[in-house]
Chains A and B, each alone.
Chain A
């Protein structure tokens, strides 16, 4: 067939074709004048790769990647576009009493498919230009351990499990106070234009640099000052993120003996798994995960029995401060224990639960199709007085929903483990862009789950105890005073829901996790078990989130400790020695103390904790995203590709505007509920004039706590935004410099010819399958690179 002829040509006349054919194909790019102007030693140099003539081609021809539009394909894409259009119309334009949850699923999935097929393809063709003839780090640095060419579908699952955590489950729940539409639009549009772009770019650029970390790339691209600012920002952001995730767990477990028992049981279960893997059956990970999963289910059920006994309720009903101290102690011990004993087994368990639960929730939403009664825009969409998270829609919606739309944390994963495992360059689109689309879908499901519960109950659960007084009567009075259309909360609704989920009370269970758990229980019980199983599903969901978060706390502390050791290493070389235990312990203690202090501050905050701290979490995460995008922009500019620079510049500009505006509000807003310093001044004044109580603080001690907390929060806001502005400023300066000279020196690893082939997307195309068959006939000993490590 024609394909074969073309491929023949492709393999034998590789080098000359690259010189002429490639330039011709990129003619369009040269129209801008600067695009093609590559100075000596700068911009995107075309590598000359000579392929082993004994092997089949390692890449398909450019022409074979071009779409062939057959009538069935056209019909399929028209149908996807129409279905997506109908779904968006149902969500955004049709104003009925209710809207069915299935439209959220259709709107999201159709938009993702179109974005993946067209926009990510555009990014691939115009901006990144992967070259499958180049070996990936997994191939040229192969060591059989962390550099291993991995099947793309396996790596997709791996990467998804690493990026998905509690973040996309919590943010959308809190943002549901503004109605369903703002959150839905931001999750879906944000991911296709910003979040997935960031993940894809960072993965690709890190892969081209042998799997270098984000911090190292920052130093390479932005110089010493920009790079150092990026590293300090990452460290500070890590601390705040760990603290606020821990706060979510504390809020979910406070006064819940069932939750405390089941979540504590994960520790002995993980220890058992660790010992099993080390001494009994090394390497049997799936086997031990299944055993662990069964034990975990038993722990959830047993939690219900224990909570009903008198001694159980007495022993496991813990005050939030006690739980916070427990998590801090746990965090320190977990982070200094060897990985095999606690972190690794719990990570396996968490991966297992993550994939399973997400598949289950997606299935349940499609089967149950709950009706949503929440309005598209709620009463709080216009103002800044929402009781769940304060602040106006712009910019606070965009920082409240961080993960799920755009998450800077992913840049740390996309520049860590994953690029070392990519088999072929073209697969980065499926893994990077596609992986983030899946995370966004998780966020949509979390939003649907939160929307499916009664609005009155939603506000009773998510308003701080300072507003509701923590009592059923207080919550009913507060929620009914909000003047929400169609909401008429009764004490009975709150007590019967609490009884159904096996909790003493559901009033002021802030943090998002309990609301999501109730939503999940509400949907799942319609599918399996009815109200009798509702308490099981509720605690299943709590357990599932706690498991993610505890893993993130442990891993985050370790990474932060590692970064701190590296920094201290500049002063005293001994800190760089990974086997110096005392150094590791000192650094761990410093990091735990840092996040622990913020956690305690959040738990004891008279103003509620989550509602004042969560914006800081979102801002921190988005600032990290802005930093990652800024580094990507500098790289794109150095490659000399200015015509398509907007693909990075637009999300970067948006993320910068959002986070810097949000920070400015937090620093300068005169509204006490929004601005940290305004709140600080109000309470200081009240203290100075000798008031005995002020606002939500009933005592002078509480008032002093508010002054202290707002000072810390305000200082953190200033630190974050300053660091981010430094990094973004350096990136813009480097971009302009590259624009003036038409490009800059590349920090990519030298190109080496690949000696293997694999399809690029989820499903292999016809041409890819044909080439795979050719490769199947090649002797195994010919395939691998001759030069091992």
Chain B
């Protein structure tokens, strides 16, 4: 959301050529922050996060593929259920 205020500013040192160009860039930025927010919140990025973590902490072991990752994740949720609110 703070990205929105950034979006109205032209990149440093390079003034936006036209008002239209600025608007297009702002809309593009707004769209990508919205996309980032929604996909992170819903969990689309979970696998990418895991891969990042795995390659960092266990660089020598192979990373499980996405399908396996999700299977294990749901299996874990089966074993230890989390609460939802009323």
Chain B residue contacts of A287, Cβ below 8 A? 44
Q: Which of A151, A403, A409, A555 contacts B40 (CB 8 A)?
A: A151
* Contact (A283, B81) CB under 8 Å given A143-B53, A762-B1, A763-B2: no
Chain A residue contacts of B76, Cβ below 8 A? 145-146
Q: How far is the CA of A723 from the CA of B50 in the complex (A)?
A: 42
Closest to B79 in A: A578
Binds B, one of A152-160, A373-381, A500-508: A152-160
Chain A residue contacts of B81, Cβ below 8 A? 339, 555, 558-559, 561-562
- Least Cβ distance of B50 to chain A in Å? 4
Q: Which of A148, A283, A289, A347 contacts B84 (CB 8 A)?
A: A347
Chain A residue contacts of B43, Cβ below 8 A? 285, 348
Interface flag for B83 (CB, 8 Å):
yes
Interface flag for A413 (CB, 8 Å):
yes
- Least Cβ distance of A149 to chain B in Å? 9
- Least Cβ distance of B45 to chain A in Å? 9
Q: Mark A396-435, 1 if CB is under 8 A from B, else 0.
A: 0000000100010110110011000000000000000000
Closest to B2 in A: A763
Q: Which of A338, A551, A762 has the most CB of B within 10 A?
A: A338
Binds B, one of A14-22, A164-172, A318-326, A743-751: A164-172
| Range class of the B interface residue count | 35 or more
Closest to A281 in B: B66
Chain A residue contacts of B46, Cβ below 8 A? 145, 283
Q: Which of B39, B76, B78, B85 has the most CB of A within 10 A?
A: B85
Q: How far is the CA of A278 from the CA of B71 in the complex (A)?
A: 8
Q: How far is the CA of A287 from the CA of B42 in the complex (A)?
A: 10
Q: Which of B49, B75, B82 contacts A416 (CB 8 A)?
A: B82
- Least Cβ distance of B48 to chain A in Å? 9
Chain B residue contacts of A277, Cβ below 8 A? 70
Q: Mark B23-57, 1 if CB is under 8 A from A, else 0.
A: 00000000000000111111110110111111011
* Contact (A283, B70) CB under 8 Å given A145-B76, A157-B37, A789-B57: yes
Q: How far is the CA of A163 from the CA of B83 in the complex (A)?
A: 9
Q: How far is the CA of A413 from the CA of B44 in the complex (A)?
A: 21
Contact call A551/B84, Cβ cutoff below 8 A: yes
Interface flag for B77 (CB, 8 Å):
yes
Q: How far is the CA of A764 from the CA of B70 in the complex (A)?
A: 34
Chain B residue contacts of A165, Cβ below 8 A? 84-86
Q: How far is the CA of A665 from the CA of B71 in the complex (A)?
A: 50
Interface flag for A680 (CB, 8 Å):
no
Contact call A552/B1, Cβ cutoff below 8 A: no
Q: Mark B53-75, 1 if CB is under 8 A from A, else 0.
A: 11011100000001101110111
Interface flag for B18 (CB, 8 Å):
no
Q: Which of A164, A283, A559 contacts B83 (CB 8 A)?
A: A559
Q: What number of A residues sit within 8 Å (CB to CB) of B?
A: 65
Interface flag for A245 (CB, 8 Å):
yes
Closest to A552 in B: B84
Q: Which of B54, B57, B71, B82 contacts A417 (CB 8 A)?
A: B82
Contact call B66/A283, Cβ cutoff below 8 A: yes
Closest to A339 in B: B77
Q: Which of A157, A283, A552, A555 contacts B44 (CB 8 A)?
A: A283
Chain B residue contacts of A286, Cβ below 8 A? 38-39, 42, 44
Q: Which of B2, B53, B84 has the most CB of A within 10 A?
A: B84
- Least Cβ distance of B10 to chain A in Å? 18
Contact call B50/A144, Cβ cutoff below 8 A: yes
Q: How far is the CA of A340 from the CA of B77 in the complex (A)?
A: 9
Closest to A248 in B: B86
Contact call B82/A278, Cβ cutoff below 8 A: no
Chain B residue contacts of A163, Cβ below 8 A? 85
Chain B residue contacts of A562, Cβ below 8 A? 80-81
* Contact (A784, B37) CB under 8 Å given A283-B44, A556-B84: no
Contact call A621/B86, Cβ cutoff below 8 A: yes
Contact call B82/A555, Cβ cutoff below 8 A: yes
Interface flag for A344 (CB, 8 Å):
yes
Q: Mark B1-31, 1 if CB is under 8 A from A, else 0.
A: 1100100000000000000000000000000
Q: How far is the CA of A407 from the CA of B43 in the complex (A)?
A: 26
Contact call A245/B66, Cβ cutoff below 8 A: no
Contact call B80/A154, Cβ cutoff below 8 A: no
Interface flag for A162 (CB, 8 Å):
yes
Q: How far is the CA of A62 from the CA of B81 in the complex (A)?
A: 39
Chain B residue contacts of A621, Cβ below 8 A? 86
Chain B residue contacts of A763, Cβ below 8 A? 1-2, 5
Q: Which of A158, A343, A410 contacts B85 (CB 8 A)?
A: A410
Q: Mark A750-766, 1 if CB is under 8 A from B, else 0.
A: 00000000000011100
Chain B residue contacts of A162, Cβ below 8 A? 83-85
* Contact (A167, B85) CB under 8 Å given A282-B67, A286-B39, A340-B74: yes
* Contact (A559, B70) CB under 8 Å given A144-B49, A762-B1, A784-B56: no
Contact call A556/B2, Cβ cutoff below 8 A: no
- Least Cβ distance of B44 to chain A in Å? 5
Interface flag for A690 (CB, 8 Å):
no
Contact call B82/A289, Cβ cutoff below 8 A: no
Q: How far is the CA of A158 from the CA of B85 in the complex (A)?
A: 12
Q: How far is the CA of A163 from the CA of B42 in the complex (A)?
A: 15
Interface flag for A352 (CB, 8 Å):
yes
Chain B residue contacts of A282, Cβ below 8 A? 47, 66-67, 69-70
Contact call B86/A245, Cβ cutoff below 8 A: yes
Contact call B86/A166, Cβ cutoff below 8 A: yes
Contact call B70/A403, Cβ cutoff below 8 A: no
CB contact list, A535-557 vs B, under 8 A: 551-552, 555-556
Q: Which of B37, B58, B85 contacts A409 (CB 8 A)?
A: B85
Interface flag for A788 (CB, 8 Å):
yes
Q: How far is the CA of A555 from the CA of B2 in the complex (A)?
A: 34
Q: Mark A766-789, 1 if CB is under 8 A from B, else 0.
A: 000000000000000100100011
- Least Cβ distance of B2 to chain A in Å? 5
Contact call A338/B78, Cβ cutoff below 8 A: yes
Contact call A283/B47, Cβ cutoff below 8 A: yes
Closest to A344 in B: B74
Q: Which of A150, A167, A339, A352 contacts B86 (CB 8 A)?
A: A167
Chain A residue contacts of B71, Cβ below 8 A? 278, 340
Contact call B66/A788, Cβ cutoff below 8 A: no
Q: How far is the CA of A150 from the CA of B53 in the complex (A)?
A: 13
Q: Which of B42, B66, B86 has the most CB of A within 10 A?
A: B86
Contact call B42/A351, Cβ cutoff below 8 A: yes
Q: How far is the CA of A409 from the CA of B37 in the complex (A)?
A: 26
- Least Cβ distance of A561 to chain B in Å? 7
Q: How far is the CA of A132 from the CA of B77 in the complex (A)?
A: 30
Contact call B85/A278, Cβ cutoff below 8 A: no
Chain A residue contacts of B51, Cβ below 8 A? 144
Q: How far is the CA of A144 from the CA of B73 in the complex (A)?
A: 11
Closest 5 CB pairs of A and B: A144-B53, A788-B57, A558-B81, A555-B84, A340-B74
Can you show 22 pairs from A to B with CB atoms below 8 A apart?
A: A144-B49, A144-B52, A145-B46, A145-B73, A150-B40, A151-B40, A154-B40, A157-B41, A162-B83, A167-B86, A282-B47, A283-B69, A287-B44, A338-B78, A339-B74, A339-B78, A407-B86, A409-B83, A556-B83, A558-B81, A578-B80, A784-B57
Given A164-B85, A555-B83, 20 other A-B contacts at CB below 8 A?
A: A142-B53, A146-B76, A162-B84, A165-B84, A283-B46, A283-B47, A285-B43, A286-B39, A286-B42, A339-B74, A348-B42, A412-B83, A416-B82, A558-B81, A559-B82, A559-B83, A763-B2, A784-B56, A784-B57, A788-B58
Binding site for A on B (CB under 8 A): 1-2, 5, 37-44, 46-47, 49-54, 56-58, 66-67, 69-71, 73-86
